[in-house]
A and B are shown apart, each in its own frame.
Chain A
Amino acid sequence: MLLKGNWLKNQSEYMQILTGEAFLILLKCEQVLLTERVLIQIKIEAIRMLQQWSADILEIWTEVYTMALSEIVKLNRKQPVAELESLFLECKQTVQKMSDRNQTIKVRLKAASLVGQLAKYDSLGDPERFKSFFLQKL
């Protein structure tokens, strides 16, 4: 139910935060093995949530996004990198969008936090890719 259609999008901020926390528990729980399909659905919802302006929502969903992406990349580690390119590009665009000068300070702060979490969870599967995406200006 949590991942169907626009259910989450239409919920209150409180419910969106609670849902994020629930996904985070699932993602961190070693006893639960989420399938790739579910992980992709979680990632799609996370990208939607990252378009919001609430700092509390961004706080929880940046971690959900980075953990889900990390798990997807791990599951596809043996696949050719080209198959994951769209995921990486989407990730780069998400960070760029959140870092845009037109965004509020809160969102831009969370963009920095997102980059840190991508490193923490090895979400791009390769430090060199991470460097080429995010450390050019640093």
Chain B
Amino acid sequence: MCSHLIHVSRYIGQASSEEKVLPEIKELLEDEEGEVVTEAIVQFQKHIASVFSDELVQAQDALDIFQKFCDLTLEHDMCMIDLAILLKKLGKIIVSMNRPTEPGILQRIGKLV
């Protein structure tokens, strides 16, 4: 359902996307369905790679979302395919965030591994 959010965000631009779409992605993270949560993570990765501003990607808010993703990945009883997708996307998110020494990220990666 949310797989088209990236088209909407690219169309309406960075500022509107951060204002209107980011809250939607956060809300999707709260969904009961693992499939929706997985798609939310995929969408977040696409957004930080090509839509959201560097300031937002580097901000504490983005870090909090990332940490939540990691926690959800640990909590959800996912099939191997979902888990593989998530790990791949989390890797890309880490690259986009470019915070190699951030203890919060390192701790979460440690837990996941």
Contact = CB atoms under 8 A, between A and B. Distances in A.
Interface of A: 109, 112-113, 115-117, 119-120, 122, 127, 130-131, 135, 138
B73 to A, nearest CB: 25
Interface string B40-78: 000000000000000000000000000000000000000
Contacts, number: 43
B12 A119 contact: yes
B11 to A, nearest CB: 4
Q: Interface of chain B, helix or strand or loop or mixed?
A: helix
A10 B82 CA distance: 41
Contacts of A127: 11-13, 16
A75 to B, nearest CB: 20
A117 B12 contact: no
Contacts of B24: 138
A31 B1 CA distance: 33
Given A131-B16, A135-B20, A122 B11 contact: yes
Given A112-B4, A116-B8, A127-B11, 17 more contacts: A112-B2, A113-B4, A116-B4, A119-B7, A119-B11, A119-B12, A120-B4, A127-B12, A127-B13, A130-B11, A130-B12, A131-B12, A131-B16, A131-B20, A135-B8, A135-B12, A135-B16
Interface residues of B, number: 16
Contacts of A130: 11-12
Contacts of B107: none
B98 interface: no
B11 A117 contact: no
Interface string B7-27: 110111100100011011000
16 contacts: A112-B1, A112-B4, A116-B5, A117-B4, A117-B7, A119-B8, A119-B10, A120-B4, A120-B11, A127-B11, A127-B12, A127-B13, A131-B20, A135-B8, A135-B12, A138-B21
A116 B10 contact: no
A120 B1 CA distance: 15
A21 B112 CA distance: 43
